[in-house]
Amino acid sequence: MRDPEGLLSRAGVRGDPNHDQHFLVDDRVLDRLPSYLPEGEGVREHVLEIGAGNGALTARLLAEAEHVTAVERDPELAAFLREEFAEEIAAGDLDVVEGDALEVDLPEFSACVANLPYSVSSQIAFRLLPLKKPLVLMFQLEFAERMVADAGTDDYGRLSVSAQHYADVEIVEPVPKEAFSPQPAVESAVIRATPRDPAYEVDDEEFFLDFVKAVFTQRRKTMRNAVRNTVHISGLDDGSAVVDAADEDLMGMRPGKVSPERLAALAALAADVGRDAE
């Protein structure tokens, strides 16, 4: 298996914290990442890696997957990957895509394993989650804790509801700063997202997620005020009509205490009574 420090040396680059560039160099963590993929037919058929960097994780994915597509936005690193893995590319086992993962066309893939750039981790996560594929992703620890949080806990919020709308999300491993070069200022964690349908029904997913976003911008307010004050975000025409039609006890709660199921039911009610017929 390729040594991560050796790869860094051959690539001739050093990570740049100012550009959110931290290379994972701990062999033990790198070896474990592919193992967090769930078992199942086809899961390892075509694995996507975002932010391939010096290829340390790429090498391990190639040992596990039938095919790997590695996305890398840094032109120098993309060129290095094409040189370092020329044999695997020639054999048809690897594709290297140079470009921003938020902009490039992603291939059809069976799962994604990635050490994401933290500055765009939210945007990339919510590009991947709706695709309903198994994900093993490295995040800033605080972000990961918010993804997995339950209603009523301090970390619960829009991110928790939105992520768990698409998948069962769990932290499978905390990762210390020392596992990276250069060391980031924060601790990290690996999450596994296993796609599944939510336990509630949503007729208009876009409206539901906008509604969740809206009420959590006022998380310190009661739901009554949060619904009324955020119609410009939720897209409601009449927030007061929703408040009048909703359960009074629910309207007295703060958003952080409301379960995803109750938020979904309230969003359905809001769509029915709070929007003008088109």
- Running DSSP on this structure, what letter comes out for residue 47? E
Q: Is 72 annotated as a binding residue?
A: yes
Q: Is 250 annotated as a binding residue?
A: no
Q: Give 6-18 as a DSSP string.
A: HHHHHHT----GG
Q: Which structure tokens are listed for 131?
A: 């695709």
Q: Is 24 annotated as a binding residue?
A: yes
User: Which residues are CB-neighbours of 31 under 8 A, at least 6 positions away?
Assistant: 1, 60
Q: Within a 13 Å sphere around the CA of 126, how many CA atoms are in the beta-carbon half?
A: 14
- Running DSSP on this structure, what letter comes out for residue 20? T
User: Which residues are CB-neighbours of 156 under 8 A, at least 6 positions away?
Assistant: 146, 149, 150, 256
Q: Which long-range contacts (CB under 8 A, 24 or more apart) does 259-263 make?
A: 259/151, 260/151, 260/161, 260/164, 260/165, 260/198, 260/199, 260/200, 261/199, 261/200, 263/161, 263/208, 263/211, 263/212, 263/215
Q: Is 22 annotated as a binding residue?
A: yes
Binding residue positions for S-adenosyl-L-methionine = 22, 24, 51, 72, 100, 115
Binding residue positions = 22, 24, 51, 72, 100, 115
